[in-house]
Amino acid sequence: MATEMILMADVKDLGAEGDIVTVADGYARNYLMPRKLGAPVTEAARRRLARIRREREAALAADLEAARKRAAALAGASCTLPVKVGQDEKLYGSVTPADIAVALKAQGIEVDKRDILLEEPIRELGVFDIPVRLHPEVSASVKVWVVEE
C-alpha cells in the first residue's frame, strides 16, 4: 500500500518542504511521522504547513534586514592591528580572522571570526580591505591597518 504525505521539511532523496509525495505505509508511519518530517494529506496539515512557511519567511526577512543594518555599520569601520616586526618588515606570526574579530569587538562591532573571509593570514604590513559575510545575500568590507608595534 502507499500513502500520500505532505513533507513538513526537506527530506533527502524524497522532496522539498510542501511537496506531496506517495510513500510506503511503513516509511510514513515509522520514519516520516515520528520525526515530524511529514504528515498525512489533510486540510489541517496544509494549514499548519502554510503557517510554518509564513513564520519561516518572516524570520528570514528579519535576519536579512538585521544583516543589512550590520553591513551599514561595518561600511565605514576600520581597525588597526599593531604587530611585532623583524628585519625587512617581516611579521612575527600573522594576522588572522580571530585577531580582526577581536579588534572589531573592541570597537563595539560584533563579528564572528568564521564570517571574516580572509583567504590566508596577513603576513605583511599595510592596509587591507577584508570582506565579511554577514548573511548569504549580504557582505561588507572592513579596512584593516597592519602597523608596526
Global pTM exceeds 0.75: no
Any alpha helices (H) in the chain, and if so which ranges? 25-27, 43-75, 97-106
Per-residue pLDDT of the chain (149 residues; tens, 9 = 90+): 788 999 988 899 998 888 889 999 999 999 999 999 998 988 888 888 888 889 889 999 999 999 898 888 888 888 899 998 888 778 888 899 999 999 999 988 888 899 999 889 898 899 999 999 988 888 899 999 999 88
Q: Calculate Rg over the CA atoms of the chain.
A: 24
**In a 3-state reduction of DSSP, which class is residue 136?**
coil
State the amino acid at position 18 in one-letter form. G
Q: Which of 17, 44, 69 is the last residue of a domain?
A: 69
What is the extent of the structural domain holding 121?
77-148
**In a 3-state reduction of DSSP, which class is residue 138?**
strand
Domains identified in the chain, total number: 2
* Closest by CA position to 113, among listed 89, 138, 130: 130
CA distances from 131 to 62, 78, 93, 103 (A): 22, 12, 21, 15
pLDDT digits (tens, 9 = 90+) for 56-89: 899 999 999 998 988 888 888 888 999 988 887 7
State whether 32 and 64 are in the same domain.
yes
CATH number for 143:
3.10.430.100
